[in-house]
Structures are given as C-alpha cells and as structure tokens.
Amino acid sequence: MKHLIFNQFIIAWLLLAIIPAAAQPLSATDAVALINELPAPPATLAEAFQQAYPNNAARPDAKPHYMPWFDKIEKAGLENQQLQMQFYQKNPMGVRPVAQPVSRVTPQQQSSMNAATSELAQKMLTDPAFAQKFSKMSEQEQHAYIAGLLAEKGLKPVNGTPNVNTAPIPGTDVEWATLCSEYMQTATDVSRWEKQTALQQQYENKHQEVRDWAEAAIKKLPMYSFGEYGHDHDPEQVKAVQKEALSRHRDIAAAMWLELRLMLQAFRQEATQRVTPLNDALKQVGFGARYDFGIHYTTVLSAQSMMIQEAHALLSNEISMIQEVARWEYEWRNFK
C-alpha cells in the first residue's frame, strides 16, 4: 500500500500558517557616536587641574566633569544587562526553543479533519475490496479521493504551500559570529596599554631624578644649631629647595600631559576602529528592534556589553591620567 499520511496531507490543504518574526532587541546605543561625543581631553596641565580639582577641592575627582557621558554609558550597560537577564530567565539553558509553525486551523476544522481521517481508516479496515482498490490508486488519485472526503465535511483546499516553516534560518544573513569574534579578540588585547605604561615609567624616572636632586641639595645646605632642639638645615633654604623641586615636577607633568594627551586621543581612534564593523552591522538591523539574531543573540549581547565596557574603561583611564598629572599642579599651587 502506498504511503498514506493523513495528517500531513490534510494540513497541506488547509490555510497557510503565519510565523511571526521574533524580535531580539539590544540596547539601542551607537558605540561610535558615544566615543565621538566624548569631550576632548584638557589642552593643558592647568585645564587638567581645573577638572581634577573643581572649586579648589582638596582631593582629585575629575569624574563630575564627565557625568553626562557616564550617565549615557551606564544607562546603555543597564539596558544590556536587563536584556541578558530576561533572555536567560526565559531560556535557563541559554538556548531558545525552535519556533513551531502557528496553525490557523479552527477547532471546527480540526474536528472535521479528525472525522474524515477516522472514516477513511475505518473503511480501509472493514472493506478489503476498497482497501485494495485504494492501494492501487496513484498518489494523485488518492489525493483527489481524500479531497472529496474533506469536502463532504465542509473543508475545501486552498492555494499555497503546506503549513511548514520555509523562512531562512534567523541570523544567517549576517556573519554575526565572525563580527563578534573579531571584535572581542581585538578588544581583549591589552598590549595597547603597554605604550601608556612605558610613557608613565619614563616620566616617573624624571620625577625620581628631581627627588634625588632635592634630597642632595638639602643635604648640602649648612647646618644650624637650634639649642636644645638640636641641629638642622635652615628651614627657609629647605623650603626654597622644595619649592624649586615642585616647580620641576610641575614642568615634567606638563610635558608628560602633552604626550599623554595625544596618546589618549589615539586610543579613542583605535577604539572607534575596533567597534565600527560590528556597530555598523547592528545599526543596519535597528539594534534588533525587528530582527531575529537566532542562535547568535547571546553572543551579540555579550559583544555589545564589551563595547560598552570598553568605552567606559576608555574614559576611566583618561580621568585617572588627568588626576595623575593634575596632582603636581595642585601641590605647586598649594605649597606654603
């Protein structure tokens, strides 16, 4: 007997299924714009001091100057975290179940289908002659017979294709795995910070030279007797050496900032180049507002989180450097 699969055949003649696209939103944050909106680093040591010590503060804190930008980045990070949490709450194993076709078969149609299926099966079992006749029919003849049986139950065939999902696999129109992998590899490469560390060490050596000079200069000063208080160098002459040392430290800090400022700007440009390919791809799909990333959703979310974290680290590093050089301006201004 030829294959007779009642349910598949009947579904093929019914109304077509509609499978809605499953949107998988990201934080709608343009990482490139976020970096480009960042205010330029202070032009001089004096400007760095004003940012690090606003209103003659006693301790350095340049972050308030950048709070509008920090608010944006923290909002984006929170949105990303919430989306990841929502996904894993629905999918604890980290994998979204495969979407099933949504049937438009009504309860009445389903009941009629069941009745027709039962009637045909019963006739095949109780009428050997019919069963033999049916088995000799061509596939087209079998289909025609079943169509007539369905028509008796009030079901008519429709034009179209069977109720199966023929849509492309979600997220395969873009190389998300490659884009995310390439970005993450470059973002986790910390070798770029070696240049900054080397520059800091170079100028720290110069500061140490000043400390050594000041210590030697003070030792060369004449000693004075202070009676029962013992002997020591003249306080005014010591103070003059210390003031000169601070002036030299300040000059070194100013020179360091000129080099460091260019380096920080280069870091911004490099970060922009790293995030641009993935960021552009995310913009093309509206950050997932009406797009299904498929199996790549969690990978893309993680990559976006890393882009947000990189931007945050970029500015945090700048603030740290601003405060480092501004300290010498503060000490020079407040020397008494």
Last residue of a domain, one of 152, 185, 219: 152
Task: Please check whether residues 85 and 51 belong to one and the same domain.
Answer: yes
Using the predicted structure, report yes or no on whether residue 109 has a pLDDT greater than 60: yes
Task: Please check whether residues 225 and 296 belong to one and the same domain.
Answer: yes
Q: pLDDT per residue over 145-161, tens digit each?
A: 777 777 777 766 655 55
Identify the pLDDT of residue 134: 72
Task: Please check whether residues 73 and 193 belong to one and the same domain.
Answer: yes
* Neighbour tally for 21: CB within 10 Å: 11
Task: Please check whether residues 276 and 321 belong to one and the same domain.
Answer: yes
Q: Which residues pair with residue 305 across a beta bridge? A: none
Domain holding 261, by residue range, is 31-99+170-333
Task: Please check whether residues 197 and 277 belong to one and the same domain.
Answer: yes
Task: Please check whether residues 88 and 108 belong to one and the same domain.
Answer: no
Last residue of a domain, one of 152, 185, 217: 152
CA distance 259 to 206: 15
Identify the pLDDT of residue 233: 80
- Check: CB of residue 314 under 8 Å from CB of residue 275: no
Q: pLDDT per residue over 218-229, tens digit each?
A: 999 988 776 666
Task: Please check whether residues 268 and 296 belong to one and the same domain.
Answer: yes
Give the pLDDT band (50/70/90) at residue 15. Answer: very low
Domain count, the chain: 2
Establish if 304 belongs to a structural domain.
yes
Establish if 1 belongs to a structural domain.
no
Task: Please check whether residues 300 and 203 belong to one and the same domain.
Answer: yes
Q: pLDDT per residue over 223-279, tens digit each?
A: 877 666 667 788 899 999 999 999 999 999 999 999 999 999 999 999 999 999 999
DSSP 41-59: PPSSHHHHHHHHSGGG-SS
Establish if 12 belongs to a structural domain.
no
Establish if 284 belongs to a structural domain.
yes
DSSP class of residue 30 equals: -
Q: Which two tokens stand for residue 286?
A: 């509206």
Task: Please check whether residues 54 and 134 belong to one and the same domain.
Answer: no
CA distance 319 to 63: 7
C-alpha radius of gyration, the chain, whole number = 37
The whole-model pTM stands at: 0.72
Q: Which residues pair with residue 225 across a beta bridge? A: 231
Establish if 7 belongs to a structural domain.
no
Task: Please check whether residues 222 and 79 belong to one and the same domain.
Answer: yes
Task: Please check whether residues 43 and 186 belong to one and the same domain.
Answer: yes
Dihedrals φ, ψ of 231, to 5°? -115, 145
Dihedrals φ, ψ of 76, to 5°? -65, -40
Task: Please check whether residues 129 and 200 belong to one and the same domain.
Answer: no
